[in-house]
């Protein structure tokens, strides 16, 4: 085109990724991993070209780090592209590169515009995935934490397959602990030979170092949800450090999809270790939903009873505990919904409001009877009943004594 102005079409792929296209010559500038260093915008620039006779490798003329703020860097890269493309002056590489850089610089300088909150659409009423009563936000981080033998990874794979099957969402499994073969075996045991399309990614480096690769995989496979297994090996430093939790959270936000992040428990007594995951308080604070996981092995050793206790909910009310029974036979692993209250060891960890709810599910009871059954103080039971007015109510029995009942049961 000689000295004529070029037309570059810009498409933003992500917060720090663009593709810019010169359709006339079939040239694409792929920009990724943008960041500010010493007040200059740097990143990676990959230039693809479909013209015949070029020295491209798999269609790529050049793929290297690039300083978008430097005129000298643009001039040097333009000469390199002209040499590798063998266009002999027929393409104004410097003009194209200048236009591409100006687009990227302007877009990054402008950023996302401010919006009026009143114009922002409300979250959809079905903004959660519901797998047999276990709810996880579609677009925000959820943490599952528990001891190392509570089958968190197994059940995370079960939830991933159910989300894929029920909601037709592409799910990624980002793994820092096992390998693809072991998870493939687990998936086939859970689902049979007609396995759902879970996209498995083996990760060797901390999440902050894997984020660019995972963003690319998310785009390539249109992932809508992910399992991160697990937080400790995916951390870029000790999980006890606040900055490590903050960097991890920023990295998962850059990936841009909701997910379940598997974690472990703190050491110490159950009343504290079962409330928050191991590490800095920021893990608990930055997650939008947090579930504690406990497991009890059956007497024969071929069954497991698993309980999920909801410890935090930023996007709605705390949910009742959810139970699962896992049965292992020769070739299959069967997961079914179970009642947490049926296993004494698991029922003991239910929050008091949930234990009261289960106790009056069929028949109203007095405060004194509930306190005796639940091994709690009458004042504690009364305080919980008064605090959860949307859940409990008090009615008067035939003998004039006040009874605790469920609001939903009275309404029906």
In degrees rounded to 5, what are phi and psi of residue 370?
A: -65, -45
Give pairs for 125-130: CB < 8 Å, separation 24+: 127/315, 128/315, 128/316, 129/159, 129/163, 129/166, 129/167, 129/169, 129/225
Quickly count: other Cβ atoms within 10 Å of residue 295's Cβ.
20
pLDDT reported for residue 410: 61
Whether 94 and 237 map to the same domain: the answer is no
Last residue of a domain, one of 77, 110, 143: 110
DSSP 254-323: HHTSEEEEEEEBPSS-HHHHTTSBSS-HHHHHH-SEEEEEEEEE-TTSSEEEEEEEEEEESSSPPPPPEE
CATH no. for residue 369? 1.10.10.10
Q: Is the pLDDT of residue 45 over 90?
A: yes
The residue with tokens 């004042």 is 379
Confirm if 57 and 85 have CB atoms less than 8 A apart: no
Whether 34 and 80 map to the same domain: the answer is yes
Tens digit of pLDDT for each residue in 226-245? Answer: 999 999 999 999 999 999 99
Q: Whole-prediction pTM value?
A: 0.77
In the chain, the number of structural domains is 3
DSSP 144-162: EEE-TTS-HHHHHHHHHHH
SS3 232: helix
Query: Which residues constitute the domain of residue 385?
Result: 352-411
Residue 119 counted as domain residue:
no
Q: Give the Cα separation of 348 and 350 in Å (integer).
A: 6
Whether 216 and 169 map to the same domain: the answer is yes
Whether 45 and 134 map to the same domain: the answer is no
Q: Is the pLDDT of residue 191 over 90?
A: yes
Residue 115 counted as domain residue:
no
Residue 1 counted as domain residue:
no
Residue 176 counted as domain residue:
yes
Whether 397 and 342 map to the same domain: the answer is no
Whether 343 and 373 map to the same domain: the answer is no
Tens digit of pLDDT for each residue in 296-318? Answer: 998 777 889 999 999 999 988 88
Residue 2 counted as domain residue:
no
Residue 120 counted as domain residue:
no
Whether 339 and 362 map to the same domain: the answer is no
Q: Report the 3 state secondary structure along 105-137.
A: HHHHHHCCCCCCHHHCCCCCCCCEEEECCEEEE
In degrees rounded to 5, what are phi and psi of residue 339?
A: -95, 120
Whether 105 and 229 map to the same domain: the answer is no
Whether 297 and 171 map to the same domain: the answer is yes
Residue 69 counted as domain residue:
yes
Q: What mean pLDDT comes out for the span 76-97?
A: 91
Whether 340 and 403 map to the same domain: the answer is no
Tokens of 19: 């593709």
Whether 303 and 338 map to the same domain: the answer is yes
Whether 168 and 302 map to the same domain: the answer is yes
CATH no. for residue 266? 3.40.50.300
pLDDT reported for residue 1: 41
Q: Is the pLDDT of residue 89 over 80?
A: yes
pLDDT reported for residue 411: 57
């Amino acid at each position: 085109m000689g000295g004529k102005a070029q037309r570059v079409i810009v498409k933003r792929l992500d917060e720090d990724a663009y593709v810019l296209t010169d359709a006339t010559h079939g040239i694409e500038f792929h920009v990724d991993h943008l960041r500010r260093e010493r007040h200059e915008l740097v990143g990676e620039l990959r230039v693809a070209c479909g013209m015949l006779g070029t020295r491209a490798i798999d269609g790529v003329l050049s793929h290297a780090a690039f300083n978008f703020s430097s005129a000298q860097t643009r001039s040097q890269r333009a000469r390199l592209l002209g040499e590798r493309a063998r266009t002999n002056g027929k393409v104004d590489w410097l003009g194209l590169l200048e236009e591409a850089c100006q687009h990227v610089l302007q877009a990054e300088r402008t950023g996302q515009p401010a919006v009026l909150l009143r114009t922002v659409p409300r979250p959809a009423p079905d903004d959660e995935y519901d797998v047999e009563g276990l709810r996880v936000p579609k677009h925000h981080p959820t943490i599952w934490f528990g001891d190392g033998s509570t089958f968190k990874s197994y059940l995370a794979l079960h939830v991933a397959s159910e989300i894929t099957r029920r909601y037709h969402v592409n799910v990624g499994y980002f793994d820092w602990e096992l390998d693809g073969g072991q998870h493939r075996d687990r998936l086939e045991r859970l689902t049979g030979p007609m396995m759902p399309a879970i996209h498995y990614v083996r990760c060797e480096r901390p999440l902050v170092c894997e984020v660019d690769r995972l963003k690319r995989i998310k785009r390539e496979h249109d992932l809508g949800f992910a399992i991160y297994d697990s937080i400790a090996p995916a951390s870029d430093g000790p999980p006890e450090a606040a900055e490590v939790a903050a960097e991890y959270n920023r990295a998962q936000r850059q990936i841009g999809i909701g997910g379940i992040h598997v974690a472990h428990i703190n050491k110490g007594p159950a009343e504290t270790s079962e409330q928050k995951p191991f590490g800095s308080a920021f893990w608990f604070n930055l997650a939008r939903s947090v579930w504690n996981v406990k497991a009890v092995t059956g007497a024969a050793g071929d069954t497991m009873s698993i309980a999920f206790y909801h410890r935090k909910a930023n996007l709605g009310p705390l949910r009742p505990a959810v139970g699962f029974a896992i049965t292992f036979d020769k070739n299959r692993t069967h997961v079914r919904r179970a009642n947490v209250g049926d296993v004494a060891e698991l029922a003991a960890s239910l929050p008091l409001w949930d234990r009261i709810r289960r106790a009056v599910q069929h028949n109203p009871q007095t405060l004194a009877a509930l306190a005796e059954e639940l091994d709690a103080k009458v004042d504690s039971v009364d305080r919980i009943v008064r605090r959860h007015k949307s859940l409990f109510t008090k009615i008067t029995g035939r003998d004039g004594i006040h009874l605790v009942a469920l609001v939903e049961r009275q309404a029906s």
